[in-house]
Amino acid sequence: KHGHSFSDLNASHKKLLVQQSRSGCNCNPSSLQACYSQRNLANRRLSSCNSQVRSLGAQRSSLLRQVSGLRSQYAAVVKQRDVLQGQLNVFVRYQNYGWKYYRGSFYYFSTSKANWQASRNYCTARGADLVVINDAFENNFTREVKRIAWIGLYRSGSNWRWVDGSYLSSRASYWAPKEPNNSGNREDRGEIWLYNNIENWNDAPWADAN
Ligand SMILES: *[C@@H]1O[C@H](CO)[C@@H](O)[C@H](O)[C@H]1NC(C)=O
Ligand SMILES: *[C@@H]1O[C@H](CO)[C@@H](O)[C@H](O)[C@H]1NC(C)=O
Ligand SMILES: *[C@@H]1O[C@H](CO)[C@@H](O)[C@H](O)[C@H]1NC(C)=O
Ligand SMILES: [Ca+2]
Ligand SMILES: [Ca+2]
């Protein structure tokens, strides 16, 4: 009876081991304790794996956000580059036609002589206008033409106005000494005159060929 029950026990232990091995516990069948401790180890590994998965998930969303940020930065830089390339093309084209660049504007000093209105037409036909001298820098720059040349200044009643519509009284002016003198009562346009002086403008009749 004793032997019978031991053999039963042995058989049921074997069955148990078979069940455990079916359920995936891959341990040494000689020790149940070793099996538990391997299971516990596996559980710890599993929970460490889970927290790595969670942390990788968080890293992934952060990386996806970074990628989308970089994509929009890239698009902005591409746009900026295209704008700059366009400006460079304009720059090169103007320079090839003899225009001079100074402080944000292009200038063309024609060598042909014409009256004020014809000179202005020459400018407007080229998408420009006679020069409006805004400050001492621009005045110095235009004096470098080193010859008499029309500027975009005209008499309007008792005022002088620039071709952009502004009144000279609201701006710096660089009239030569004793100018504008309206000589012969017919000097109604401004010109670069004593170009070696800071104060260099003169009034002259519009029909003069400068
Ligand atoms: C118990 O089972 C083992 C194998 O798991 C076997 O080697 C052994 O002889 C068996 N003992 C008895 C008394 O049946
Ligand atoms: C203009 O030129 C004069 C000398 O010709 C100089 O003294 C003056 O500082 C210049 N002005 C500017 C704003 O560059
Ligand atoms: C008046 O201006 C003209 C230039 O437009 C100049 O030739 C002439 O000498 C000036 N006359 C006087 C009296 O300053
Ligand atoms: Ca100007
Ligand atoms: Ca004059």
Please indicate, yes or no, if residue 116 is contained in any of the structural domains.
yes
Q: Distance (Å, rounded) from C-alpha 197 to C-alpha 177?
A: 10
144: Cβ below 6 Å to ligand 2? Answer: no
Confirm or reject: Cβ of 140 under 6 Å from ligand 2.
Answer: yes
- With CA atoms as reference, report the closest residue to 207 among 130, 139, 116: 116
Residue 133 lies in a domain: yes
Give the total number of structural domains in the chain.
2
79/128 same-domain check: no
Collapsing DSSP to helix, strand or coil, 155 comes out as strand
Residue nearest to atom 12 of ligand 3 (CA): 181
pTM score? 0.66
200 and 109 both lie in a single domain: yes
* Number of CB atoms found within 10 A of residue 179's CB: 21
Is residue 1 assigned to a domain? no
Ligand index nearest the alpha carbon of residue 133: 4
Buried b (16+ CB within 10 A) or exposed e, 74-97: eeeeeeeeeeeeeeeeeeeebeee
192, 148 in Cβ contact below 8 A?
A: yes
Domain match, 192 and 120 both = yes
Point out which residues pair with 155 in neighbouring strands: 160
Q: In what order do the strands lie in the sheet with 159-162?
A: 159-162, 149-156, 189-192, 201-204
26 CA distance to ligand 1 middle (Å):
21
- Return per-residue pLDDT of the chain as tens, 210 residues: 455 566 777 677 777 666 655 555 555 556 778 778 888 998 998 999 999 999 999 999 999 999 999 999 999 999 999 999 999 998 998 999 999 999 999 999 999 999 999 999 999 999 999 999 999 999 999 999 999 999 999 999 999 999 999 999 989 999 999 999 999 999 999 999 999 999 999 999 999 998
Q: What span, in angstroms and rounded, lies between the C-alpha atoms of 164 and 170?
A: 13
Q: Which atom of ligand 2 is nearest to the CA of 137?
A: 13
Q: Whose CA is nearest to atom 8 of ligand 3?
A: 183
From the CA of 151, how far away is ligand 3's center (Å)? 18
State whether residue 158 is helix, strand or coil: coil
Q: Answer whether 189's CB lies under 8 Å from 150's CB.
A: yes
Residues with Cβ within 8 Å of 46's Cβ and at least 6 positions away in sequence, in order, are: none
* Residues 82, 119 share a domain: no
* Residue 16 counted as domain residue: no
Question: Is residue 94 one of the residues assigned to a domain?
Answer: no
Note the pLDDT of residue 1: 47
CATH number of the domain that residue 189 is part of: 3.10.100.10
Residue 39 confidence (pLDDT): 86
| Ligand 3 site, residue 182, Cβ cutoff 6 A | no
Q: Which helix (H) or strand (E) holds 138?
A: helix 136-143
Q: How many CA atoms lie within 13 A of 175 on its CB side?
A: 15
For residues 112 and 195, state if they share a domain: yes
Q: Is residue 12 a part of any domain in this protein? A: no
Residue 96 included in any domain: no
